[in-house]
Structure 1
Amino acid sequence: MDGILPLWKPKGMTSHDCVVKIRKLYRTKKVGHTGTLDPEVEGVLPICIGQATKIVPFLTDTKKTYIAEVKLGTATDTEDGQGEVVESKPVNDFPTDDTVEDVLQSFQGDITQVPPMYSAVKVNGRKLYEYARKNIEVERPKRTVTIFDIERLPSDGQDIRFKVVCSKGTYIRTLCVDVGRKLGYPAHMADLSRIQTGSFAEDDCIRFTEIEEAVEKNQEEQLLFPLSSGLNHLDVLQVDEATKKKVENGSKLMHPDEELKTDPFRVMHGRLLLAIYQKHPEKPGQIKPVRVFHG
């Protein structure tokens, strides 16, 4: 059984919890998720099953879309609503709409983030949250991420809601804190949901209740999307029958005459996904397989 299950991860479960549950429901160990969501975050979490586990890194590397809520006035040690308050300031004069809009737009493009202490980023072989739990401060590595689009949304009360399209590795908690800081207030992320990963949107997603119902009817395989649907962001090289056999054997090939917009890229025979190839790093004019799929 091979394919992608676009799960809507519920609040209260870790991404690993979801993998464990799906392993039991689908009766297979070959299950992997495509980008961790914190337990209190809900949203799109594509789950790869069977041969689809081969494309986990490529699906993880896609754009993500979130809806976030910023709470001004208090900062926490975890940068979300679950942590201890470490700073507070009364919000007597809430920023004007124009000010909020200007601050949000100032984050568009490439930005530098310092990952939160309560995160899974590793320093000297240990995860930051392991240091945080022992109250050990360590220097955190800066990272460059990309905000492709950010848009303010209507909100009740005085919280700030926005939709953001961003690159892999973006910490929305940190973005919320940085937005608050630019507005002159300590802040934290009050709520978050991921509404799109790559080509998978909320409307595509399956809830656990639906999976359990399908399992009872032996129809769980019908919920899976084909592997190629998780690779829509990669360009396609179509090959003929003779070349198809070479690809299935994992052979290196001469670089095609046609221009390919992405590297790596998909190799397909009609609608059949054969492999993922890339330009050969050491042999100009050749392409080599990164992943080969067997039907």
Structure 2
Amino acid sequence: MADGWTNQRQQPIIKFLVYCPKGTMFLKFIDTSGLRKDAETLFKIFDEVVQEVGVENIVQFITDNDASYKAAGKKLQRKYGSFFWSPYAAHCIDLMLENFCDPRHFPIINETIMKARKITKFIYNHTWVLALMRKDFTKGHDLCRPAVTRFATNFLSIQCLLLFKKELRQMFTCDKWIVSSYSKSNIGKEIAEIVLEDREFWAQCQFIVTISEPLVRVLRLVDGDEKPAMGYLYNAMEKAKENIKARLKNKVSAFMPFIRVIDARWDKQLHSPLHAAGCLLNPGIYFNPCFKSKNNVSRGFMTCVVKMEPDIDKQDEII
């Protein structure tokens, strides 16, 4: 796994981690100061790591989803042919959530998220208002729930706003708020109006939670440390799509725009035959009577076997 970040001295670093049966281990890091992060440079760096670890020991090479990383990873996969390149699953799912609030395609969702941000920003930027909310109304609970990724944080914050809708409405009508200077400011009046009078805002918040919750669950799965996600991701994505359809009462015009977003990212970026193989090798899912994608999963498993074992007799044995 290649993870790009910046250290405390503002140096750009790529650190390499190895995930193996004993867990995740640090392998090495490379200071990329002064290097162009184009596909060719990244390919050379990645190739050195592959040779150091041993190509026979690698099943999957995971990088960021940026264009240069993607091109370098694909080139690496073509050179060796025996392992898979994949982008970070969490990043891909975050991009799905980002597409859910794309103002070009979903302007109402984007507008609702902007209003939600305005509410939380106002409360958290004013110490007195924040203290009033925590002490008198939410019993110490917060509206902002930091998540693994930026867009997941937006959706979880909307979930929290809905959870504390009653308390927020009480806060913006209580005596302490009414006599405060904040209630008389333009921004204070605007926020109170959204919370108290904007029915469309609250209806859209409910809709956003309805469509995003299944994906946020998948995000928690791929970013959690409880179990390796490979054997669960394929089924988790299928379930998320079915859940969104069911939540939108199987109305094609309602669910189809969101399913298209998920499929575009899943088919073109995230899905790998390895996810299918992991699913087939997870008997709790594969042999469940409710599981319907056995043919697709079997094809993915065959692709893995052929790619990773060149000997035809051994391929037959494995299958």
Larger helix percent: 2
TM-score (norm 1): 0.25
Larger strand percent: 1
Larger radius of gyration: 2
Q: Of the two structures, which has the highest relative contact order with CA contacts closer than 8 Å and spacing of 6 or more? A: 1
TM-score (norm 2): 0.24
